[in-house]
Amino acid sequence: MTAIKWTEKYRPRRLKEVLGNGKAVSELEAWARSWERGIPEKRAVVLYGPAGVGKTSAALALAEEMGWDQIEMNASDSRTAAAISKVAGAAARMMTFSGKKRLVILDEADNLYGSADRGGSAAMLRLVKEADQPVVLIANDYYGLSKPLREGTLGIQFRRITKSTVLSALREICRAEGAACTPELVEEIADMANGDLRSGINDLQAALEGAREVGEVATAVRDAKASIFDGVAKILRGSSLGEAVQIAWSLDESPEDLVHWIDENLPLVYKPADLAAGYERLSRADVFLGRVRRRQNYGLWRYASFMMTGGVQAARTEKKGGYIPFRPPSYWRRMGQTKGARQVRESAAKKIGRHCHISSRMAKGEMMGLFALLLKDPDTGPKVAALLDFTVEEIALLLGTKPTTKKVSKLYDAARELLEEERVSEIEIAWGGTKKPEQTEKRERPRRADKTKSDAVGEGESGAGSEESDREDEKAEPVEEAEFGGPSDQGAEPMEPEKDDRQRSLFDF
């Protein structure tokens, strides 16, 4: 049974129903109103931003709101110059019979690649400059449009929908559907959606329909996450290369993760005669992934993706019928024994995302390799691990090894030590502290000196790093003065410029 898609059922019909992005929607409306006074300077707008945040919906609702007809085409379906100028050009120049304006919506406008499409891009430029009708271009990547195209249009940015808006939209749908959504389910799905309302609604529908079938909402979260299994099944069992490649893009998995899934499940699906060829393709994909990691050239990802999906599928000559229990990669299963691998990955990505001011999804997709390299470097490794406060599991994941290895614990300990130093120097700076003679002497070994101090500060032990004086009550007072810049009977000299400590800070790499 194929139910109506909720994304269509709940697509906003009017501008005020477009959630979030209020500023973008009013800019869009203002531009449309300017058409009522004649042809405006910018005949076309570009609605750009991440997928599933309401760009297309806003364009469609605009036509509805203004009482305009609309014609929608996908730039990547009909990529040629001829198609764009014929369909969009004619439509954009001609009034409709009713005399209504016609809004030309050109989706995936950033999807014209290569020389074959240069004509398409020129046609698009002509279209936005000469159209007698309003034109809306829709793009994910604003800078995927040529400069003249950007300059010839009005750019309107759509942003990810906030989690609270996604939450209330999902709750509203649950209510409208009379579905028993547990708060945990909605919360989990809103989290996974990461500002993409379309994927949130799709997950909710998949989860609730799955739950209805088994009559249990508790399994719904699991169902929502199951799409990777479907994806792997379609890649390995399907018979459309295009679909296999497409699926890889739609999955919320980076090629680095997907390759493990294919690797794990390939032998379950392929007959012995096809296995070698399948693995040969997969190893080619892995070579590309290696290059991506080494050169940080993410352009190569698309080839890796192609090899591990379409390439692997093309290596299959025989089909295997019957039920196949697909399974997650065993590497992750091993990781899962210590702590859910997904969770570790998510939390590492979250930390990286927060630090780089990007989404954790993007961090997962594009930055893990870079941070792995930084961690591997003996100089930057401890600083990065400290700065991002990575756990043992996160370090192990990024280094591609087990949390129990020496490499991991050494890096983790070095990071902890740096953090401790940082904490101590911050306390000293905050208190305008003084340095004791021993510390000045131990300059060449700042780490040990600071460590000793840190113990003293952290545990309230007596001063000057002296091992013998470990009885708090004996010298509590003088120590406090010596440590924190009060008058000292030990002849403490004023601390060296505090900058010194800051310069050695782990934030300086």
Q: Could you list the residues that contact ligand ATP (CB under 6 A)?
A: 7-8, 10-12, 18-21, 51-57, 138, 140, 161, 197-198, 201
**Is residue 52 a known part of a binding site?**
yes
Q: Give just the sign of the alpha carbon dihedral 224, 191, 52, 28.
A: positive
Minimum distance from CB of 257 to ligand ATP (Å)? Answer: 22
Q: In this complex, which beta carbon is closest to ligand ATP, that of residue 110 or of residue 286? A: 110
Burial of 67 (0-12, 13-18, 19+ CB in 10 A): exposed
Minimum distance from CB of 200 to ligand ATP (Å)? Answer: 8
**Is residue 55 a known part of a binding site?**
yes
Question: Which residue is closest to ligand ATP by CB?
Answer: 54
Minimum distance from CB of 139 to ligand ATP (Å)? Answer: 8
**Is residue 51 a known part of a binding site?**
yes
Q: In this complex, which beta carbon is closest to ligand ATP, that of residue 97 or of residue 249? A: 249
Q: In this complex, which beta carbon is closest to ligand ATP, that of residue 75 or of residue 335? A: 75
b/e 292-315 (16+ beta carbons within 10 angstroms → b): bbeeeebebbebbbbbbbbbbbeb
Q: In this complex, which beta carbon is closest to ligand ATP, that of residue 124 or of residue 197? A: 197
Minimum distance from CB of 14 to ligand ATP (Å)? Answer: 11
Minimum distance from CB of 59 to ligand ATP (Å)? Answer: 8
Tokens of 222: 């699991």
Question: Locate tokens 């959630």: which residue?
Answer: 19
Minimum distance from CB of 231 to ligand ATP (Å)? Answer: 18
Nearest to 5 by CA among 199, 143, 237: 199
Q: In this complex, which beta carbon is closest to ligand ATP, that of residue 11 or of residue 163? A: 11
Q: In this complex, which beta carbon is closest to ligand ATP, that of residue 53 or of residue 392? A: 53
Question: Locate tokens 């459309």: which residue?
Answer: 240
**Is residue 299 a known part of a binding site?**
no
Minimum distance from CB of 88 to ligand ATP (Å)? Answer: 17
Cα angle: 142, vertex 144, 150; to 5 degrees? 55
Helices 22-34 and 55-66, packing angle to 10 deg: 40
**Is residue 49 a known part of a binding site?**
yes
Question: Locate tokens 């949130």: which residue?
Answer: 200
The DSSP string of 241-304 is: HHHHHHHHHHSSS-HHHHHHHHHHHHHHHS-HHHHHHHHHHHHHHHHHHHHHHHHT-GGGHHHH
Q: In this complex, which beta carbon is closest to ligand ATP, that of residue 74 or of residue 505? A: 74
The DSSP string of 50-97 is: STTSSHHHHHHHHHHHHT-EEEEEETTTS-SHHHIIIIIIHHHHSPPT
Q: Which residue stretches of 152-254 are H helix?
A: 163-177, 183-193, 197-214, 220-224, 227-237, 241-250
Tokens of 316: 């299959």
> Per the annotation, where are the binding residues?
49-56
> Per the annotation, where are the binding residues for ATP?
49-56
